[in-house]
Structure formats: C-alpha cells, structure tokens
Structure 1
Amino acid sequence: MTTKAYGAHAADQPLVPLDIERRAPGPRDVQIEIAYCGICHSDLHTVRSEWSGTRYPCVPGHEIVGEVSAVGREVGGFRVGDIVGVGCMVDSCRHCAACADGLEQYCTNGFVGTYNGRTQDPPGHTLGGYSQRIVVDERFVLRINHPKEQLAAVAPLLCAGITTWSPLRHWKVGPGSKVGIVGIGGLGHMGIKLARAMGAHVVAFTTSEHKRQDALALGASEVVVSRDAQAMARHAGSFDFILDTVAASHVLDAFTVLLKRDGTLCLVGVPEDPHPSPNVGALIFGRRSIAGSLIGGIRETQEMLDFCAGHGIVSDIELIPAQAINQAYERMLRSDVKYRFVIDGATFAA
C-alpha cells in the first residue's frame, strides 16, 4: 500500500515528501492511520547519521498516536476505530530472558526499532511515524485512553514519557522520596510531571535561571541552578534518586555527592562525547550508584499511559505541519521548543 511520508535520502539532505510502501495487514497486524507523531532528538541524530548505521531512505518517528483502520484475522485486542499508540519498538525476538520478563527494550537479540530496524518489508528496514499510516504487530500496539482533545500531547509519552517513567518505577519513586530531575527539556519536563504525580518531592536542576518559573509550573517543589555552588551544597547527601536527562557531556560528580547513602543517579541521555570519569570515592564512601535506563517494555509503557490518563498528564507541545519539520529540527538544536514538537498527521498528504 502506497503511503505519503516525510524522510531523508542522505545525511546531508533535508526531509522531503516521499511515497513509501506499507505491507498489507497480516493475521496479527494492526493498521493505524497516524493522527499525530512526536519529534524526538533521536530522529534528528538518525536522519543526519550522527549515530552510525542509518539506512536510507530514512523515515523517522516513534511517538505515534492514531486510529485503527484494519486488523488481521487473529487480532483479539484491537478493533477498527480504537485509538492506539506505537512507541520505539515494533518487534523483538520474543524468546530471550528480557522479552520473557516484559523488558523487550533489553532484548538480547536486539529489538526492532520503529524506524531504521531491519525488516523483510521493503526497503529492508523499518520506516517510522512521519507518515500517513503504519502496520504493526498487535503485541507492540498500545491502547490510548486519554480524551480526544489531548491526543496530540499524548504522542511524546510514547518515548519521552516512558523513558522517564521506567527508571522512576524501577527505583521505586513514590511518597517520601526526594527526587532530582536534571535538565528541563523534552525528557526532563516529563520527569518532573511524573515524579510529582507519583508523590515525590521533586527538585529540578537547570543551568538557566530563566527556567525557574517554568520548572515550578511543571510541578517541581524546588529549583536549583546547578552553576550555583552554594545552592548545590545545601542539598548534599539528601536525594534518594536523581534522574539525569541531559544528553550533553557534563561532570557527574556534582550530582553523585547530592545522593544519600544507597542513592542512585540514573542517566537516560546518551552524550555525543563521554562524560568525564566520575570520582569513585563519592560512590564508594556512600554506596552510591550511577546507572542507566533505556525506554521501557510494552507492559510498563501501557502502565505509564494508563497512569497518565488517570492523572491527566500529557506532554507540553507545539503542533506543526509536516512541511515545517526541517525548521523544527533547527529550532530543536537551539532548544527553541517547550517542550516537544508534534506533527499533525493530516498534513502528510498536503
């Protein structure tokens, strides 16, 4: 089936309108008409081949919300007309220990990304959500329960939401927890909202004083400008958990010393250049940990979506037409968005 999309033919070329082919729904497939697709910084990295292994043509997009338009004969969980989502994965091996535990993102044989993953469908790799429709195995389709007027702002939950939810849940953040969120961007603003809704005392860290009021409006109880050594020192040894969403190289020691004994600093951003080596003494003398976390499994992504629907949580977005994608990429590089661009799927065919 021919589908209108936006993608790039090479790393040094802009995204342009494309005609791509989608497979007909198989027995267990769900066909989705895409209403909204968020723009993630990973999209830009992949399109511009800043991470190795980009396959072209590259059609990005893994924050997808849409309506089911067809289902295979063996599909039991979805019907035509359902509002659904697709996140960062469309398949995994389904038989390794990670998959058996519902942690497909850690599939030891490698999960299949919603775009740029190997597939038997033409052109040999997956093509993502910057398109009119997509066909996905029902195991990797998620149910959306938010009201219709919130659907555009739900799209970033499929990546930014689950990327922050998964570590917050894994490290058992809840009432009584003191939690730090480093960075107030696409990921960080979701981390603040989720940690607050989970009952934690949330402290936002930013390098910019002008972001203070924004962080408080998002739900932070306190805001610390990390360049202020005295303000940082006042929080020494007091955090149960700190979620670091910053994807640029920076000194981690400034945050490890803020952890309590047995506290954890969790990284979810992958910097272009490595972080400076941390001071091991700060870890040893407090039994502190530096850890990492990758998106989330399908089961916990559904849990996150249900939690967000129940608490009225969505991302803060700017809705754009597909024709503005290249400009959005340049603005994203300047951090000129609060806090996520979302593409209106109705404009892919314009």
Structure 2
Amino acid sequence: MFACNGYAAQTPTSPLAPFSFERRDPGPNDVQIDILYCGICHSDIHTARGEWNNHDFPVVPGHEIVGKVVAVGSEVSQFKVGDLAGVGCMVDSCRHCPSCTAGLEQYCEDGGFTGTYAAPDKKTPGMFTYGGYSKSIVVDQGFVLRVPTGLELAAVAPLLCAGITTYSPLRHWKVGPGSKVGIVGLGGLGHMGLKIAHAMGAEVTLFTTSPNKAEDAKRLGAHHVVISKDADQMASQANTFDFVLDCVSAQHDINAYLAVLKRDGTLVQVGAPPEPLPVAAFNLIMSRKSFAGSLIGGIAETQEMLDFCAKHNIVSDIEMISIDQINEAYERVISSDVKYRFVIDMQSLAA
C-alpha cells in the first residue's frame, strides 16, 4: 500500500475536503497513473451527497480521469511508463458473464461492474474504491484507456463519461449520414451529443427550453434548434426524426419527444430524472416507436470513442478549476452554471 492524497466527502452533508488514504501497490496486471485532470460529473455530486444507493463514506469522487502512467505490473502489455492514459466509470467487472464477454462490461450480470469510486473493491477486499479527485490511481490494465495525442488533455477528461454516454447509443442505433437526429437538452451530455452526432454525419436538431442557447448549439454542431416549450415549433417536428437522444435529468414530458419520432424511430434516455417518466402507450403503439435506455459504454467501445474523437478533433467544452474550488463548482453544476463541464487541474492538489 502507498499513501495518497485527495478530496473526499466524509458524510452526505459535509463539503469535500482534503483527505489522506492508501492505495494498493500495483499488482502484475495493474497500471499506476498520476492524475493530471479529472472532470466533474453530476453523478459525483449525487454520490457525494448520498442521493444514489447505499455506500460507505468517505467518498473520493471522480470518474473522468486522464494522466500519465508512472508504473506498470510485470504482466502489463498494453501500457508503459510515460504513456497518457485514462480511466472512466469502471475499474473492474466479473469478466465472464455474457455481457462482459461481449465487451459490454457496463451491463455486467454477475454483481455489476465495479465503479471507479464508492464501490466494493474486488482487488482489495473490505475496502471501497476511491476516484479521481486524487493524486494517483491504480487500475487493472483491462480497464485503462489509451489517450490519443494531439488533443487538449484537460478537455479529453469528460469524454470518459459524457463522451461515451452519448457516443454509445448513437453508435448502437447506427446514426450516420441520412439520419435525422434530435438531442434533448444542452448541458454536459447534450453538448457532446451534438458534437458526436454531427461528426457521424447526421442532420442534428437541438431541443431546448432556452432560446438563448440557439447560437451556442449551432457552434457545437446543431443544424437546427427547436424551442420545446413552443407548441407550434414542436408540432412542426411531428413524425420526422429517426432517433432522439434525451440528455435531460430533470422531470419533463417524454411524450413530447416520442411524438417527433417517425415510424420505427427510437428515443434513448441517457439523462436520469429522479422520478419515473410517464409514457403514453399509444405514443409507442401507433407508429411502432421504441423508448430505450443506455448506460455509458464498454471498454472497447470507449477506446473506439476516444479514437473517433481524435480523428474528428472532438473534445469537451470545459471550465478549468483548482481542487479548492470543488464545493463552489458543485453548486454551479446544480444550477447549470457551466459551459459545459468542469475539469479539475489535479496539480492544484497539495502534495
């Protein structure tokens, strides 16, 4: 074990503050990464405040991690010291269930995947995982990503969650040239959905409640913007979309977006509203429409996403902060006061 510093929530009601803990020494299949940047995801806030699931405290959040490899185990073949590397939302899974063997570790059927933080650590029994708001992390090579060179490294970090969360459903439902795609909501997820769908060759429309987001949406890749609280604008879009990606985590009327789908169209939910979304059955039945969900992506697909983003020069729009600004940043995320993802400069963490 070795000493590591980070920032943690000691209880669901306490602010994040400096925290010292121990990480395991790299084993034969492990990669040790000194963390340079870590993005802030809204799920970090939910977990740090005890709003999702039961887990032990303290919690060191952070699952949008990029850094430099500083040590590798004797069996590691994919990475060497000095490489740029990334870690996303998972650090382990059972590796033998049908989902894991299909490269879909996020849907692990034998106990679920091991989250990067606040999850029981299979490699260190009796302990929970600690995330990327820290100096260093040790992860099995099977869950470490190669970070392409040539991109702004800090702005790559949110790709490890926001990027793959939007890329995976767009890829799975075969979005491409000739597809008419709607993105609902312009935030951390939505802005990545615009960029990626545009790069895939789709005709992209942003649905937003905020007219003042139209200009930014077009900069990010939208061909069209529809103000969703305008009934006439929404009615004009009825039965015209092949695919809609809903990135909104607040309560909203899902039926309004089912109505814009063509026959055999699909709406995929990636935002996570706190309460169930009522669905009118006839919105699905009458035109054989589908309402689906999607969770991040497997490791191979996440690597594919990173390579795709490198090819198309796609990164997240970010605001950089130092680690001592983390609690203020959390409040700003809650009030949607960021364009479009906070990233922590982890070199601001005291040694």
In the TM superposition, what is the alpha-carbon distance from 1:122 to its structure 2 partner?
7.5
Structure 2 counterpart of 1:40? 41
In the TM superposition, what is the alpha-carbon distance from 1:103 to its structure 2 partner?
0.2
RMSD: 1.0
Structure 2 counterpart of 1:183? 185
1:64-79 matches, within 5 Å, as 64-79=65-80
In the TM superposition, what is the alpha-carbon distance from 1:54 to its structure 2 partner?
2.9
Residue ranges of structure 2 left out of the alignment (5+ in a row): none
Structure 1 counterpart of 2:241? 239
In the TM superposition, what is the alpha-carbon distance from 1:144 to its structure 2 partner?
0.6
Candidates 115, 118, 122, aligned match of 2:117: 115
Structure 2 counterpart of 1:131? 134
TM-superposition CA deviations, 1:101-126 (whole Å, max 9, x none): 00000000210000011015386100
1:34-183 matches, within 5 Å, as 34-109=35-110, 110-119=112-121, 120-121=123-124, 124-147=127-150, 150-183=152-185
Structure 1 counterpart of 2:262? 260
Structure 2 counterpart of 1:226? 228
TM-superposition CA deviations, 1:192-225 (whole Å, max 9, x none): 0000000000000100111111101101000001
Residue ranges of structure 1 left out of the alignment (5+ in a row): none
Tell me if the contact between 1:178 and 1:202 (Cα under 8 Å) persists in the aligned partners: yes
Structure 1 counterpart of 2:202? 200
In the aligned structure 2, how far is the partner of 1:53 from the partner of 1:317?
31
Tell me if the contact between 1:156 and 1:340 (Cα under 8 Å) persists in the aligned partners: yes
In the aligned structure 1, how far is the partner of 2:16 from the partner of 2:338?
19
In the aligned structure 1, how far is the partner of 2:19 from the partner of 2:125?
14
In the aligned structure 1, how far is the partner of 2:150 from the partner of 2:322?
22
Q: Does 1:308 align with 2:309?
A: yes
In the aligned structure 2, how far is the partner of 1:308 from the partner of 1:291?
25
Task: Identify which range, 246-255 or 66-75, moves more after superposition.
Answer: 246-255
Q: Which runs of 4+ in 1 moved over 6 A?
A: none
Partner SS, residue 74 of structure 2: coil
In the aligned structure 1, how far is the partner of 2:55 from the partner of 2:153?
30
Letter in 1 for 2:269: L
Letter in 1 for 2:316: S
Partner SS, residue 136 of structure 1: strand
Tell me if the contact between 1:47 and 1:54 (Cα under 8 Å) persists in the aligned partners: no
In the aligned structure 1, how far is the partner of 2:263 from the partner of 2:84?
44
1:324-335 matches, within 5 Å, as 324-335=325-336
Tell me if the contact between 2:120 and 2:126 (Cα under 8 Å) persists in the aligned partners: no
Aligned residue pairs, count: 348
TM-superposition CA deviations, 1:288-330 (whole Å, max 9, x none): 0100000000000000000001110000000000000000001
Partner SS, residue 36 of structure 2: strand
| TM-score, normalised by the number of residues in structure 2 | 0.98
In the aligned structure 1, how far is the partner of 2:40 from the partner of 2:231?
35
Percent same amino acid among aligned pairs? 63
In the aligned structure 1, how far is the partner of 2:34 from the partner of 2:289?
46
Structure 1 counterpart of 2:287? 286
Task: Identify which range, 115-124 or 245-254, moves more after superposition.
Answer: 115-124
Tell me if the contact between 1:86 and 1:158 (Cα under 8 Å) persists in the aligned partners: yes
In the TM superposition, what is the alpha-carbon distance from 1:153 to its structure 2 partner?
0.2
In the aligned structure 2, how far is the partner of 1:261 from the partner of 1:122?
50
Tell me if the contact between 1:21 and 1:122 (Cα under 8 Å) persists in the aligned partners: no
Letter in 2 for 1:31: Q
In the TM superposition, what is the alpha-carbon distance from 1:3 to its structure 2 partner?
0.9
| TM-score, normalised by the number of residues in structure 1 | 0.98
In the aligned structure 2, how far is the partner of 1:206 from the partner of 1:267?
15
